[in-house]
């Protein structure tokens, strides 16, 4: 399992760090498989709900990273979310060992997981959001569940048994590596959960019939916008790749 070694002292869970509204103009709309897709009208309740930015701190400087970047052990990173949505956020992590952990909310950081429109949040919600990547090479799969109403978190006993363990390891996109020297895995980053795909045991009761009809928009500076059915719970994943 990938170990996230927290760099700062834990504080309250839902930690707003700014109140600036993010721009909604997309650079590129992508489908769940990662290719380009046309923007569709969709349901009347479909709306941009959050923006996600993956950042790394190196040599005292903070830089936005591509969602598919392959990190190294010891890298210091964080996830920032800008909410366009009033509701509740639940985030669960499945490490490469198959073990699960609740990242948002969590007992250590408080139980307030309400998110509000036009505010930024850190996942996990530590004082400044930074954590160190460690553990065996592979992927951490973060499950994001957004709901307009509060849901009942899974019980602690449901985390006892690990789920299926994947043997997949990140692979650099050769074309991007040759062009820019960046190691990027095309399977990393945000993705929709396929219809009918089984969910991890601790997440299944919580997610229920959450919508999996999600669209991702690549914005500037590595930010990814998430659009879904805002009137109902929405479920998607974010795969963090590391060597």
- With a cut of 90, say whether residue 40 has pLDDT above it: no
Region 20-45: mean pLDDT is: 40
Region 171-197: mean pLDDT is: 78
Q: Which domain holds residue 70?
A: 3-153+170-242
Half-sphere exposure of 231 (CA within 13 A, CB side): 4
Strand partners, 56: 63, 77
In a domain, 181, yes or no: yes
Specify whether the backbone of 74 is left (phi greater than 0), alpha (psi in -120 to 50) or beta: left
In a domain, 83, yes or no: yes
In a domain, 159, yes or no: no
Q: How far apart are CA 102 and CA 191, in angstroms?
A: 19
According to DSSP, the β-strands at 70-71 and 234-242 are: parallel
In a domain, 164, yes or no: no
174 sits in which H/E element: helix 174-180
Longest dimension (CA), the chain: 48
pLDDT tens-digit series, residues 139-163: 888 889 898 888 877 765 556 555 5
Say how many domains are in the chain: 1
């Amino acid at each position: 399992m990938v170990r996230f070694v927290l760099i700062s002292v834990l504080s309250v869970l839902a930690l707003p760090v700014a109140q600036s509204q993010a721009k909604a103009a997309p650079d590129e709309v992508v489908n769940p498989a990662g290719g380009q897709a046309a923007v569709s009208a969709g349901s009347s309740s479909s709306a941009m709900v959050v923006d996600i930015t993956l950042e790394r701190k190196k040599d005292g400087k903070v830089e936005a990273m591509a969602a598919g970047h392959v990190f190294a052990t010891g890298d210091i990173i964080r996830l920032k979310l800008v909410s366009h949505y009033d509701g509740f956020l639940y985030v669960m992590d499945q490490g490469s060992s198959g073990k699960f952990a609740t990242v948002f909310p969590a007992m250590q950081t408080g139980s307030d997981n309400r998110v509000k429109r036009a505010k930024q949040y850190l996942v996990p919600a530590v004082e400044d959001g930074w954590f160190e990547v460690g553990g065996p090479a592979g992927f951490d799969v973060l499950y994001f569940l957004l709901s307009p109403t509060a849901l009942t978190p899974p019980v602690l006993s449901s985390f006892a048994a690990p789920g299926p363990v994947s043997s997949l390891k990140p692979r650099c996109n050769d074309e991007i590596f040759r062009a820019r020297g960046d190691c990027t895995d095309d399977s990393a980053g945000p993705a929709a959960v396929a219809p009918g795909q089984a969910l991890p045991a601790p997440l299944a009761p919580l997610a229920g019939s959450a919508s999996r009809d999600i669209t991702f928009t690549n914005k500037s500076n590595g930010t990814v916008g998430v659009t879904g059915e805002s009137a109902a719970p929405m479920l998607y994943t974010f795969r963090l790749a590391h060597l």
